[in-house]
Amino acid sequence: MTITGKVVAVTGASSGIGAATARHLASLGAPVVLGARRADRLDGLAAEITAGGGRAAAVRVDVTDPGDLRALVDTAVDRFGRLDVLVGNAGVSRIGPMADLDVEGWSAMVDVNVKGILHGIAAALPVFRRQGRGHLVTVVSTSGLKIVPTQAVYAGTKNAVRTLLEGLRQESTDGVLRTTSISPGYVRTELVDHAVDDPVAREQAKRTMAELGIDPDAVARAVAFAIDQPEDVEIGDLTIRPARQG
C-alpha cells in the first residue's frame, strides 16, 4: 500500500505546514482528517479538498486535551475505516532569552509541542496495534539540531519529541509501528507571528522568515516521501531547510 488510500490525520492543519501537508496528501489520494482549534479554517480546507475530488473530514482539536486527540482518531476510523498515519504537527514557538522568564510561554510550548504529541500517541497507538500497522510522523525542528540563543525552550521541546519517538521506535521493532521525525528549518508560515510580543522584534523575525523561509509545500513533500514507502522501510529522520540557512 503506497500513499493512495492511506488514511492520514494531521494536527495543526489549519495553517502553514499542516495545511500544506493535508492538501498535498489529499492530492495524492489519501483521505485526510484535519485537526486544530480554528474550526472555520479546517472547514474551509476540507471543503476545498472535497471540491477538488479528495476526501477530508475536519475536527476541532486542542492537542492539550487528550480527549480531543481521541476524537480525531475516532473520526478517522468512523469516516474512513482506519487510521494509517498520524502527523503530529501542531506546535507553538516563543522566542526570547530564558532570563525573560516567560513562564507562560514555556508552559505553552511544553503543553502543545510535547504533551500534544504524547496525547496523539496515546490516542493512536491502540488503533495501530489493533490494525497491526501504523505510522507516527512528528514535525520537530532544526532548532533542536543547532541550539541558538532565544530558542532554548522551543528547541528543548522539539528534542524531547525526538527522544520520545526514538524510545517508542526501540520498543516497537515488531513491525507494527513506523516513526518519522521531520525537521524543518525556516518555513514561511504564521508560526513567527505569535513568537514574540515586542512589535519591532516581531517584524524583524517576520522579515527574516519572508526573506529566507521556504514554502510549506517543501515540508509537505517530505512528509509524503516518508509515508510513501514500502511497509518494511522506515524513514527515521528528514531535515528540510532553506539552502541558504546557516
186 labelled catalytic = no
Instruction: Provide the binding-site residues for ligand NDP, judged by CB under 6 A.
Output: 11-12, 14-18, 36-38, 61-64, 89-93, 112, 139, 141, 184, 186-187, 189-191
C-alpha cell at 1: 500500500
Say whether 85 sits in a helix, a strand or coil: strand
Angle between helices 116-131 and 152-170 (to 10 degrees): 20
Burial of 75-90, coded b for 16+ CB within 10 Å and e otherwise, reads bbbeebebbbbbbbbb
The helix or strand, by DSSP H or E, that contains position 134, with its residue range, turns out to be: strand 134-139
How far is residue 57's CA from residue 45's CA, in Å, rounded to a whole number?
A: 9
Q: Which one, 71 or 77, has the nearer CB to ligand NDP? A: 71
Q: Which one, 119 or 178, has the nearer CB to ligand NDP? A: 119
Q: Which one, 133 or 237, has the nearer CB to ligand NDP? A: 237
| Active-site residue identified among 80, 106, 128, 154 | 154
Segments of 89-221 assigned E as strands = 134-139, 177-184
Which amino acids are annotated catalytic? 154
